[in-house]
Amino acid sequence: MGGRRVGRIITRPLTALLAFLPFAAFPAPQSDSGDVVFRSRVRLVRLAVTVKDSNGGLAANLDKDDFSVSDNGVPQQVSVFERNTSLPLSIAVLIDTSGSTGKDLGYEVESAGRFFHAVVRGGSPSDAVALYSFNWQVTLHSSYTRRLPRLDQGLHALRGDGGTSLYDAIYLAARDLESRDGRHAMIVITDGGDTTSTKDFDAALEAAQRAESILYPIVVVPIENPAGRNIGGEHALATISSRTGGRVFLPSDSASLDHAFDEILIELRTQYLVAYYPKNVPASPNRFHSVSVTLRRPDLRAITRSGYYGESAP
C-alpha cells in the first residue's frame, strides 16, 4: 500500500478541538410553553498530566488534592480527576523519509513496528495508531487503526528520498487529530531539519496546541558533534514538545530507539486526568489561555501542555 498523499496545505475547514471536550449546559428560566431554554455552555478543559519525582521516575497514587491548577493566573477548582486515565489514546507516528535519514530508516521501521504491536496488545481496546511519512511532501500510509498488518505494510513501504517537510507533517497530523475523541499524541522520528515546508514553526506549534496533542520528537542524531547536527531544528522541536507536555529523545541506535518508544508508551499509560471548568478567567487577546499545574509535594513536577485556545473572554 503506497499511502495517500495528504499534501502540505490542508483545505478542509478546522474541526473544533472542542469535539472531544464536553460542555456543561446551564438552563435559563423556562419559556411560556414550559420548555427549558439552554443559552450558555461552559467548556471542560482536560489536561493529561505526567508527574515525575526528583529522580525522573513516574509518581503514582496521587490524589486530587495534590494538584493545583491555574488558568491565565487564576486558581481553578478541579472538577474531574482520574489516575491512569482510561480515555482512548490516538497516536500519530510521523517518520522522516528524506534523503538525509536513509541510512537509519531500516532500524527505525523495525522499532516502530514493535511499538505498534505494544500499543495494540495493551492498554485500552479503543487506542489506535496512524502512520505518516514525510520528505518533500506528507503521506498518510494508514489512518487510525489497530490492524497490525495494515500498519506493518505501510512501514515496509517507506523509502528515503528528497527534502524534509517537518512542520507540514506536524501541522497536517495535528489537524487530523483534532476531531478524534480522547487523548492525542504525536511521535516524530526525524534528524531535526526542515527544508521544504510551506508551514512554519509557529503554524506547527499552534496546530499541535489546538489539537491538544502531546508531541514526542525522537531525534535520530547523525553524529554527536554539534557541528554536524541541525541544532536549530532540534531546539525548535524541543520547544514544541515542552509546550505540549512532551519531551525529546536522542537515540543513537536501535536499542536506544526501542527504549524511547517504551518510555513514551509508559508515560502515556500512567497519566493523570485533571479537568476543570474555567471560572473568572481574564480575557486573552490572542485566545490562548496559559495553564499551570503544580503539586503539593515540592519534590514532584507536573508535566502538561502550556495552555489551550478558547474564547477571548470566559
Taking only the tens place, the pLDDT of each residue in 181-233 is 999 999 999 988 899 999 999 999 999 999 999 999 999 875 555 555 667 88
Tell me the average pLDDT across 153-164: 94
| Whether residue 153 is found in the same domain as residue 301 | no
Question: pLDDT band at 311, cuts 50/70/90?
Answer: low
- Cell numbers at 217, concatenated: 520528537
Predicted local distance difference test score (pLDDT) of residue 263: 97
Greater model confidence, 104 or 241: 241
> Is the pLDDT at 31 greater than 90, yes or no?
no
Predicted local distance difference test score (pLDDT) of residue 231: 79
Residues 6+ apart with CB under 8 A from 54: 299, 300
Residue 143, domain member (yes or no): yes
Tell me the average pLDDT across 298-311: 94
Q: What is the CATH number of the domain that holds 195?
A: 3.40.50.410
**pLDDT above 90 as % of the chain:** 72
Residue 15, domain member (yes or no): no
> Is the pLDDT at 275 greater than 80, yes or no?
yes
Residue 228, domain member (yes or no): yes
Predicted local distance difference test score (pLDDT) of residue 102: 75
Residue 9, domain member (yes or no): no
| Whether residue 225 is found in the same domain as residue 256 | yes
| Whether residue 137 is found in the same domain as residue 231 | yes
Cα separations in angstroms, 150 against 95, 127, 156, 177:
16, 15, 10, 19
Which of 70-74, 97-101, 133-137 is predicted with the least confidence, judged by mean pLDDT?
Answer: 97-101
| Whether residue 127 is found in the same domain as residue 207 | yes
Residue 70, domain member (yes or no): yes
| Whether residue 51 is found in the same domain as residue 76 | yes
Greater model confidence, 247 or 232: 247
| Whether residue 145 is found in the same domain as residue 51 | no
Tell me the average pLDDT across 144-171: 96
Predicted local distance difference test score (pLDDT) of residue 38: 33
Predicted local distance difference test score (pLDDT) of residue 22: 41
| Whether residue 227 is found in the same domain as residue 109 | yes
Tell me the average pLDDT across 236-265: 96
Q: Residue 109 has what DSSP assignment?
A: H
> Is the pLDDT at 117 greater than 50, yes or no?
yes
pTM: 0.85
Predicted local distance difference test score (pLDDT) of residue 99: 87
Element (H or E) spanning 28, and its range? strand 23-30
The number of domains in the chain is 2
For all residues of the chain together, what is the average pLDDT? 86
* Site of grid cell 496545505: 9
Residue 17, domain member (yes or no): no
Query: Hey, CA dihedral for 119, 121, 126, 131, is it positive or negative?
Result: positive
Predicted local distance difference test score (pLDDT) of residue 6: 61
Other beta carbons within 10 angstroms of residue 80's beta carbon come to 16
| Whether residue 90 is found in the same domain as residue 221 | yes
Task: Give the C-alpha separation, 173 to 216, whole Å.
Answer: 13
Tell me the average pLDDT across 72-94: 95
Residue range(s) defining the domain that contains residue 124: 86-269
| Whether residue 251 is found in the same domain as residue 171 | yes
Residue 264, domain member (yes or no): yes
| Whether residue 128 is found in the same domain as residue 180 | yes
Residue 16, domain member (yes or no): no
Predicted local distance difference test score (pLDDT) of residue 285: 82
Predicted local distance difference test score (pLDDT) of residue 308: 96
Which of 100-109, 112-121, 161-170, 203-212 is predicted with the least confidence, judged by mean pLDDT?
Answer: 100-109
| Whether residue 65 is found in the same domain as residue 111 | no
- Closest C-alpha among 130, 114, 110, 112 to residue 122: 114
34-59 confidence digits (pLDDT tens): 443 333 346 899 999 999 999 999 99
| Whether residue 161 is found in the same domain as residue 224 | yes
Helix then strand then coil, in percent of the chain rounded to 5, is 30, 30, 40
